[in-house]
Amino acid sequence: MGQGLHGLAQCAGLWIAPKPGCVGSAQFQPHPVRSTVMPTLLLKVSPLQNPAEYHALATELTQLTAEVLHKLRGVTVVIIEDIPAARWHIGGQVVDRPTAFLEISITAGTNTDAEKAAFVAKAYAAIQAVLAPWGSLAQASYVVVRELPAANWGFGGQTQAGRRAALAMA
């Protein structure tokens, strides 16, 4: 195998870790091919916040996505929806303190379990720092990492599987 991206893509399989005998040996090493995957983040928050807090959340979540999950900032999408407290219920009760639900969609097989766990912990802490700096979020505030097959999504009119195939042929 050569040192180029083509060799890395062939050795990496699902782009998690090189196979024995391939570039980088069998141990996990992030490489440029993994950063071609894109994430989308959907954050729902209650109570309503001001625009500066929404921007702070989007900036921090984009940063964490790039650093922890090795995704490209330029194609990271963060959508924030605010839900009035009267419309958010936990255990059948209207929420009485800040709460959030974050779901990030990534391509299946592009991150290790440790990376996903680190993202969940750091994203939760970042959300809590903005929404509840004086206390804590409602316990039933969730961070979900959803993995989608590469053939089922993409950006710019091309699926992630299509990107992989094009890169492998380059």
**Domain ranges, ordered by start, for the chain:** 37-155
Q: Pick from 39, 65, 74: which is nearest to 122 by CA?
A: 65
What is the C-alpha to C-alpha distance for residues 33 and 86, in angstroms, rounded to an integer? Answer: 45
Mean pLDDT of the region 92-119: 96
Which ranges in 39-159 belong to alpha helices (H)? 51-69, 113-131
Using alpha carbons, select from 26, 121, 21 the residue that is nearest to residue 69.
121
For the chain, percent of residues with pLDDT exceeding 90: 65
In the structure encoding, which two tokens stand for residue 78, read together? Answer: 């963060």
CA atoms within 13 A on the CB side of 63: 10
Q: Is the pLDDT of residue 149 over 90?
A: yes
The CATH code that applies to domain 37-155 is 3.30.429.10
Q: Give the rounded distance of the alpha carbon of 96 from its chain centre.
A: 28
Q: What is the pTM of this model?
A: 0.77
Calculate mean pLDDT across residues 106-122: 97
Under a CB-based contact definition with an 8 Å cutoff, are residues 20 and 137 in contact?
no
Average pLDDT value over all residues in the chain: 82
Cα separation of 7 and 15, whole Å? 11
**Cβ proximity of 119 and 69 under 8 Å:** yes
Mean pLDDT of 75-82: 96
Least confident piece of the model among 26-35, 70-79, 121-130: 26-35
The whole-number pLDDT of residue 114 equals 98
- Asked if residue 6 has pLDDT above 60, the reply is no
pLDDT band per the 50, 70, 90 thresholds, residue 103:
very high
Burial of 139 (0-12, 13-18, 19+ CB in 10 A): exposed
